Amino acid sequence: MTCGESTDWQRTPPSDDRELRADGGTDDSPLLQDNRSDAVLSDDGEYRYRLTRTWDAAKPTVAFLMLNPSTADASEDDPTIRRCLGFAKDWGYGSLVVANLFGLRTPDPSNLRDHPNPIGPDNDDHLRDVCTDAAQVVAAWGANGSLQDRARAVAKSLETDLYALDTTKAGHPVHPLYQPKDAEPEPWDATELDAEGER
């Protein structure tokens, strides 16, 4: 699926991400041209399908698969995105892409249970594209991935190796916000999800 093929979502205009720039260069420097921010939202803004931050286009991309989007968009980062950016830079990547098990934009994950379609009509297409294009995919949705058995279904459908910073007692990949800054991704297998994690 490409932007031109869908009427259900739109790409927000990319913006220069000046906060990522630390060299004090001028606006026409090559470094600034690499600093890009992008987000793909549904037309009504209810869903966010992907969020991209690029600071060095010559380096590979790391993807984080989270539970659901909160407030970050093409021009604003939230604490989770800032933490993921820190990991991505420390690991030697040049861009970060964030996708989610559920596309519904809400700061309260409990709202996912009451919404008639928390996944979003185009979310699965974006998940596949993100995971195909990334050099490494870090699962990071936390303990709530069991909702609608979504974590297991997504992990099974993706044809890529998954990594995690750590796992919960039930086997879900932990959320990155509460992990130490020097955490490193390790291979993760969805079969580690136990029955308790899928209740």
Tokens of 96: 């970060």
Query: β-pairing, 48-54 with 186-188?
Result: unpaired
Q: Please state whether the predicted TM-score (pTM) of the whole model is above 0.85.
A: no
With 0-12 / 13-18 / 19 or more C-beta atoms within 10 angstroms meaning exposed / middle / buried, residue 115 is: middle
User: Which residues does the chain have with pLDDT short of 70?
Assistant: 1-34, 194-199
SS3 182: coil
CA gap 161, 24 in Å, rounded: 38
Give 34-50 pLDDT, tens digit per residue: 689 999 999 999 999 99
Give 68-82 pLDDT, tens digit per residue: 998 788 888 999 999
